[in-house]
Structure 1
C-alpha cells in the first residue's frame, strides 16, 4: 500500500498548486476562482505562512505531491473550521490517498483543539463524494438550493458538519491516529 505524508508548501510549490487549482476539472468544483498568476500565488503562500487561522499541506503519496489540503478556522471564538481538499494527480484519488481526511480531522480536533468542522460542497461534485460524507462521520445539514452561480449556472451547495465527539466515535474504523504533521493521537 502507498504511504501518505504531508509537507508544508513553500514558494517553490507555487507553480504546482496553481496548475492544479486552475485546471478546469478542479476549478469547476471550487467555490473561489484563482487567476493564473505565479507571483500572486507565491505572495499567497507567503501570507499563509504567517496565518494562525489557516493550516495547509501538500498531500504526498510515496513522497510525491498529489494534492493540496487545508484547514481554515472560520469562527475562532466558536472553534469551528472548514476543510478543503484538492487532488491534482490521479494518485491522490486512489489507494490510501483518500484517507487524507483522517489525518486532517485528527489535526483539526486534537492538534488545533477545535470543536466542529462545517464543509460546503458543490452539488456538481461526484455523487460518491456527497454520499460518502456520512460514512466519514459527517452529518448532512442540508442543501442550499441554487446557492452558487458559476459561469451563469446555478448550483446547489451541500452542507455537512462534524463535532469532535463524532470523530472520536468513528475514527477507530479508519485506524489512523496521526495528524498531518505525524503526531500520534490515541
Structure 2
C-alpha cells in the first residue's frame, strides 16, 4: 500500500487567509472550543492576522486536513523545546468526515512529519479530560506512553478539568508505525 488508507483520500494543504472563516467557525464552535486549551474570540480579521503570523513562525507547521479534497479539520505541530527536539501536536476535526474512515489516521502523517521531515525526537501532548474517553484510551494504541494526569489543572467558567499528558519518542513511533501502513508526511513525502 502506498500510504493511502481506504475510506477517503487524505491531503493536507497550507492554510491561507481564505481559510480564516472556516477555521474561525470550527475553533469557536462550542463542542470544539470546549476541547481546546485556549479560547478564540469570534473575529475574522484577528483570525486572518493569526494566519499571517503563523506563516512566519519558526517551529510551527499547520495544515488544513482534507478528505477527498474537502476541508474537514486543522492539524498543527508546534516545537515547544527546540534545543531538545520536542514538539506537541494539535488536531481539530471540524467536520464529520474528519472523524470517520481514514481521516483519524491523520496522526500517522503528522508523526512522520515530526520525526522524519522535522527530525525531532519527541512529542508531548496535553489532552483535556473533557475529550472523548475513546481519544484518551486510544493514545497508547498509537504508541504514546501515558505520563500522568494533572488533576483539576484547567479551570473553565468555574469548572475544573483534568489534563492528561502523553509522550512518544521517535523510536516508539518506529516500533508501531508499520501497523498503520502510512509512510507519508503531511506534504506527501514518502518515508520508508
TM-score by length of 2: 0.96
**Structure 1 segment 86-165 matched on structure 2, within 5 A:** 86-165=92-171
The counterpart of 1:59, out of the listed 54, 58, 65, is 65
Aligned twin of 2:42: 36
Q: Secondary structure at the match of 1:183?
A: coil
Matched, 1:15 2:21: yes
1:179 matched to 2:171 = no
3-state SS, counterpart of residue 108 of structure 1:
helix
Give the total of aligned pairs.
186
Q: Output the CA distance in 2 between the equivalents of 1:172 and 1:150.
A: 39
Where in structure 2 are there 5+ consecutive unaligned residues?
1-6
How much does 1:151 deviate? 1.1
Q: Which of residues 44, 49, 60 in structure 1 aligns to 2:55? A: 49
3-state SS of 2:164 partner: strand
Please tell me the root mean square deviation across aligned C-alpha atoms, in Å: 0.4
* Matched residue SS, 1:180: coil
- Local SS of the residue matching 2:24: helix
SS of the counterpart of 1:133? Answer: helix
Distance, in Å, in 1 between the alignment partners of 2:22 and 2:130 is: 24
Q: Distance in 2 between matches of 1:93 and 1:71?
A: 19
Runs of 4+ in 1 over 2 A off after TM superposition: none
Segments of structure 1 that go 5 or more residues without pairing to the other structure are none
What does the per-residue CA deviation read over 1:30-50, in whole Å, with 9 as the maximum and x for residues that have no partner? 000000000000000001111
- With normalisation by structure 1, the TM-score equals 0.99
